[in-house]
Structure formats: C-alpha cells, structure tokens
C-alpha cells in the first residue's frame, strides 16, 4: 500500500488555509495546516514532509523567509508559493531561492491539485532516478544506463552474465536505443576494463579508409602513406573494439576481420608480416543481418563469429515506463550544464511524451528535451513547445482546423462541446478530474473549455 503523501500548508488567511487543507485531505493527502509562519518554521523537520504549500505575503515571517528556512533543513523538498500579487521579479526571486512552483490567487481547487501532483511527481522521478542509479551501480555497475522497465532489466541481467566471458557479442536494435552504451557496460564490467574501449562507426567511412583505420598500414602501402600507422585493432590491444553498424562492412574488410576473429592475427596494409593482438570484438547493427546474409551482402561465417551472443535492445515505445525517468535525467543534465531550473514536463507534455512513438528512440528523446529547453520560457516544458518537435495528437486538433470558419459548423460544434461538457460534469458531480478521465483528456483541456463556454461547474456539485 502506498503511503500517504504529507503536505504542510501555510497561509495566514484562515479561510483559504482551511479550504486548501480540506481539498488536499479529500484527495488522500495527509495535511497539516498553519496560519502562523513562525509556528510552521519551528515545527518543520526534514524527512517528515513531502511538500510545503505556503503563501508569500504573511505578517512577521513572509513566505520567502519560510522557504529559506525549510530549504536549510531539507534542501530536496518541493515548495509551492501562493500569491495574489505575482510578478516576474517575485517569481524569479522565489525560484532562485528554491521554490518549485508559483500558484496565483484566486485559484480553483483543481488547479491546486494539479500543481501539487506535478510537484510530487517531480520529486518521485528524482527519487526513482536516484534509487535506480544506486541499484544499477550496486547490482550491475552500469552508471550511464537509465530505466526500470522489465525489458531493460532483462537486457541488463543478460549483460551481467556475459561481461566476464570473453566472447563476441552482437547488440541489435533500432537506431538510438543505446547499443553503444550496452557495449561500454560490457567492457567496463569485464576483466578488460583497465584497457581501452575503441569504437568505430562502420557506416561512416568509405571502404578504403575503413580498412586502413581498422588494420593500419605500412609506410609506402599507398599514395600518402608517409609513415607506419597502427590501426584501431592495435590501439585496442588488451581491450575491446566496438564495431557500430557492422552490417555496413565491405566484403574485403569482412574477409580480413573474419581471419582476425579466427586467428587473432591480421596484416597491416602493405605489410606481409602478421600482427597479433588480444582484442575482444563487440558489434552492433540496426539492420537484419540474416537478410543481408541471404542477399549475399554479409558473410555467413562472419555473422556467426560476431553473433556468439545476441543482445536485442527494445525500442523506447516498448519501454514507456522509462520515458519519464529518461526525460527527467536529460532535463537534469541540461540544468546542470547551463545553470537553469527547468522543473520537468507539465502534465499535458508528460502525457504526450509517453503516448508518442519515438521512432528515433532515446537519442530522439534527448534531442527533443534539449531543443524544448532551449525554446521554453517557463519553468516547465509545455505542450505547445514540445509539439514543435514531435507530432502530438490533441482532442482539439479537429476543432482547430476550423477555427477560421464561420457559419453553422462552428455553431454546431460549440453546442455539441457545451452539452457534452455539461453532461460530463453532471455525471461526475462537478469533479473536473473525473470528467477529464472519462473524456480521455486532461484537466487543463476541460478547464479551458469550461472557461470558453462560461460553464459554472459548481452547478453540478453533488449538493446541487
């Protein structure tokens, strides 16, 4: 059973304080309310609370001073500041002092609940990332891999078993799924970890250059070969060579690589004397090498030499539970890099990210987070900004196509939306969250529609 989240509410306006206490208590939170800020500061102890909601304008000790005292005792706790006089300067000051969010009076109970859920969700993601990192580092020693989904854990359990076995591994999966990270995890948890990990993208170089890069050459082997040069195989001696996009190897290179895998020797270009090295070869591909073998584009004997052990990475759309963790991780990296304080994805953007297919997988998610943070002006990544970088289906998209039209269509659509919202609110006794859930949308959308059509949701409360 999940423990109740503990929230401290502080507001010298007793009516508003009790209202917030009642709303949060009715929604399953354990709430303690204070109308005196000094009393709240004295009673606050680290580890006893999950969230603080406090007014800014209060006699004696104002909310900003209370914020500082709370943060001194518990730096990680989220604090939501409430004010009737929100200004840009005040918001910046509060955020710099460590506030998580700002809530402007007057506000509806649903907006309070929405902000509280966001703050607690953000804290939960940070905690999950910390626990996950400790688990992965403690159990697997895989520091750069983020995720808690069943599919990823199965992959890591397989990786753990083969790290000590000096055998060839073929990592397969769509582009952007993190194949090189898995190869690095194998290397840095193997007996070869103190030696070099050398990677090369086999699809990024022409055949002639790829061969010389891998195997090196002797002075005079070709025009421009002014001196002897070691290849990547020699550079990786004692360590690991990672061949990314191995399906792009030309046939001539495939033949030489096969000989090396069989005999651990090879010849530099232009050098008749064999060179012997001790290298473990890991490879990766997003192509179907079995089809390439059937088409005569990849040697069957090399395929079996490389594919002694196969690790198949699931695409991100099959790891949807990991999307919030990965997004929070990438946001944190950007915050640290640029000294900013983006709090995360807002609710609509969060839902859109989870529902999106991510054809470019983790690489695409990272790029989208970075681009969104560069464009976003608020403390959250919002749906309008996120939708500049991914396709987002919204319930309003059909409506927006016709916003410039006049006539019966728009009138009929407005009547339909009004009656539909009234029916939803009537059925759910004015509960916006329940209405949004039944409609398959989010509270913010329902709230905008209520405002657009001047619907009074209190008319549909159970008492009415």
CATH of the domain at 439: 1.10.10
Q: Which of 3, 53, 55, 11 minimizes the C-alpha distance to 28?
A: 3
Q: Which two tokens stand for residue 186?
A: 């194998």
Q: Which of 298, 313, 328 lies at the terminal end of a domain, its last residue?
A: 313
Q: What is the pLDDT along the chain (464 residues), one digit of tens a residue?
A: 457 899 999 999 888 898 999 999 989 999 999 999 999 999 999 889 999 999 998 988 999 999 999 999 988 899 999 987 766 677 677 777 888 888 888 888 888 998 898 888 877 777 766 665 555 554 445 666 888 788 888 998 899 899 888 899 999 999 999 999 999 999 988 999 889 999 999 888 887 788 888 988 777 666 666 677 888 999 999 999 999 999 999 998 999 999 999 998 988 887 788 889 999 999 999 999 999 999 999 999 999 999 999 999 999 999 998 998 899 889 988 988 888 888 888 888 888 999 999 999 999 999 999 999 998 877 889 888 999 999 886 544 444 434 444 456 566 667 777 877 888 888 888 787 788 777 777 676 777 778 777 787 666 665 43
DSSP assignments along 377-433, one per residue: -SSEE-HHHHTTTS----TTHHHHTTTT--SHHHHHHHHHHHHHHHHHHHHTTT-HH
Token pair 């102890």 is found at 45
| DSSP 8-state class, residue 7 | E
Tokens representing 112 are 């309070």
Tell whether 190 and 298 lie within a shared domain. yes
Question: Which letter, b or e, does each residue of 80-96 get, where b requires 16 or more Cβ atoms within 10 Å of its Cβ?
Answer: bbbbeebeeebbeebbe
Q: Are strands 265-267 and 240-244 parallel, antiparallel or unpaired?
A: unpaired
Q: Provide the CA 344 distance to its chain's centre, in angstroms.
A: 10
Domain of residue 299, CATH code = 3.40.50.300
Assess whether 288 and 362 both reside in one domain: no
Residue 191: partners with Cβ closer than 8 Å, 6 or more residues away? 164, 166
Residues 201 and 162 in one domain: yes
Residues 332 and 223 both lie in one domain? no
Angle at 341 between CA 365 and CA 111, to 5 degrees: 90
Q: Is residue 142 part of a domain?
A: no
Is 448 within a domain? yes
Structure tokens at 201: 């993208």
Domain that holds residue 96: 6-130
Instruction: Please answer whether residues 199 and 283 qualify as being in contact, where contact means their C-beta atoms are separated by less than 8 angstroms.
Output: no
Q: Flag whether 423 is in a domain.
A: yes
pLDDT at 129: 64
The reply to whether the predicted model has a pTM over 0.85 is no
* Separation in Å, CA 273 to CA 5, 57, 269: 71, 83, 10
Instruction: Please state at what angle helix 207-215 crosses helix 251-263, rounded to 10 degrees.
Output: 20
- Residues 169 and 237 both lie in one domain: yes
E-strand stretches of 11-147: 30-34, 51-55, 79-83, 101-104
Predicted local confidence at residue 277, as pLDDT:
93
176 and 280 assigned to the same domain? yes
* Residue 58 domain-assigned (yes or no): yes
* Residue 34 covered by a domain: yes
Does one domain contain both 192 and 308? yes
Q: For residue 198, is it within any domain?
A: yes
Which residue, among 86, 50, 56, 59, has the nearest Cα to 68 in the 3D structure?
A: 56
Boundary-marking domain end, from 340, 361, 386:
386
Whether 135 is covered by a domain: the verdict is no
- The pair of structure tokens assigned to 81 is 């500041």
Q: What is the CATH number of the domain that holds 325?
A: 1.10.8.60
pLDDT of residue 397: 44
- Residue 6 to residues 24, 46, 52, 98, 103, Cα–Cα distance (Å): 10, 12, 9, 19, 19
| Residue 264 and residue 223 in one domain | yes
Report the distance separating Cα 382 and Cα 23, nearest Å.
Answer: 26
Closest CA to 268 of 227, 325, 329, 324: 227
Q: What is the DSSP letter of 316?
A: G
Residues 335 and 205 grouped into a single domain = no
Looking at the structure, do residues 247 and 330 belong to the same domain, yes or no? no
425 and 360 share one domain = no
Model pLDDT, residue 458: 64
Same domain for 453 and 339: no
136 domain residue, yes or no: no
**Predicted local confidence at residue 86, as pLDDT:** 60
Which of 326, 357, 386 is the C-terminal boundary of a domain?
A: 386
Q: Which pLDDT belongs to residue 403?
A: 44
CA dihedral 203, 208, 212, 218 (to 10 degrees): 180
Question: How many other CB atoms are found less than 10 A from the CB of residue 397?
Answer: 9
Question: Cis omega (within 30 of 0) on the bond before 246?
Answer: no
Q: Domain tally for the chain? A: 4
């Amino acid at each position: 059973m999940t423990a109740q989240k503990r929230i401290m509410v502080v507001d010298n306006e007793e009516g508003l304080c009790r209202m917030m206490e009642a709303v949060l208590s009715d929604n399953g939170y354990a709430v303690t309310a204070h109308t005196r800020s000094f009393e709240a500061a004295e009673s606050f102890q680290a580890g006893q609370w999950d969230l603080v909601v406090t007014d800014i304008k209060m006699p004696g000790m104002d909310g900003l001073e209370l914020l500082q005292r709370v943060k001194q005792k518990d730096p990680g706790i989220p604090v939501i500041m409430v004010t009737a006089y929100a200004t840009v300067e005040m918001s910046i000051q509060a955020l710099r002092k460590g506030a998580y969010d700002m809530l402007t009076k007057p506000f509806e109970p649903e907006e309070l609940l929405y902000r509280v859920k966001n703050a607690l969700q953000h804290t939960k993601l940070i905690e999950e990332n910390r626990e996950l990192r400790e688990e992965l580092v403690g159990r697997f020693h895989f520091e750069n891999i983020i995720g808690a989904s069943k599919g990823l854990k199965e992959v890591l359990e397989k990786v753990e078993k083969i790290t000590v076995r000096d055998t060839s591994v073929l990592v397969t999966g769509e582009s952007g799924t993190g194949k090189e990270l898995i190869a690095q995890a194998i290397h840095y948890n193997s007996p070869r970890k103190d030696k070099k990990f050398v990677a090369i993208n086999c699809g990024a170089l022409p055949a002639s250059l790829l061969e010389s890069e891998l195997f090196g050459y002797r002075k005079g082997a070709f025009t421009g070969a002014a001196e002897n040069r070691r290849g990547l195989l020699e550079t990786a001696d004692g360590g690991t060579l990672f061949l990314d996009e191995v399906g792009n190897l030309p046939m001539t290179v495939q033949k030489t690589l096969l000989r090396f895998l069989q005999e651990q020797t090879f010849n530099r270009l232009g050098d008749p004397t064999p060179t012997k090295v001790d290298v473990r070869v890991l490879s990766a591909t997003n192509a179907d090498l079995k089809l390439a073998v059937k088409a005569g584009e990849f040697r069957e004997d090399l395929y079996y030499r490389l594919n002694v052990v196969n690790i198949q990475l699931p695409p991100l759309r099959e790891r949807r539970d990991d999307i919030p963790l990965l997004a929070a991780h990438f946001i944190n990296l950007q915050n640290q890099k640029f000294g900013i304080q983006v709090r995360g994805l807002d609710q609509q953007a969060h839902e859109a990210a989870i529902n999106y297919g991510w054809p470019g997988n983790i690489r695409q998610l990272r790029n989208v987070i970075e681009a969104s943070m560069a464009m976003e002006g608020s403390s959250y990544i919002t749906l309008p900004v996120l939708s500049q970088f991914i396709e987002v289906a919204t319930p309003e998209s059909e409506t927006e196509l016709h916003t410039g039209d006049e006539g019966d269509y728009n009138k009929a659509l407005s009547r339909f939306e009004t009656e539909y919202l009234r029916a939803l609110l009537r059925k759910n006794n004015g509960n916006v969250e329940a209405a949004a859930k039944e409609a398959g949308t989010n509270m913010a959308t329902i709230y905008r529609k209520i405002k657009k059509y001047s619907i009074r949701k209190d008319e549909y409360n159970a008492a009415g």
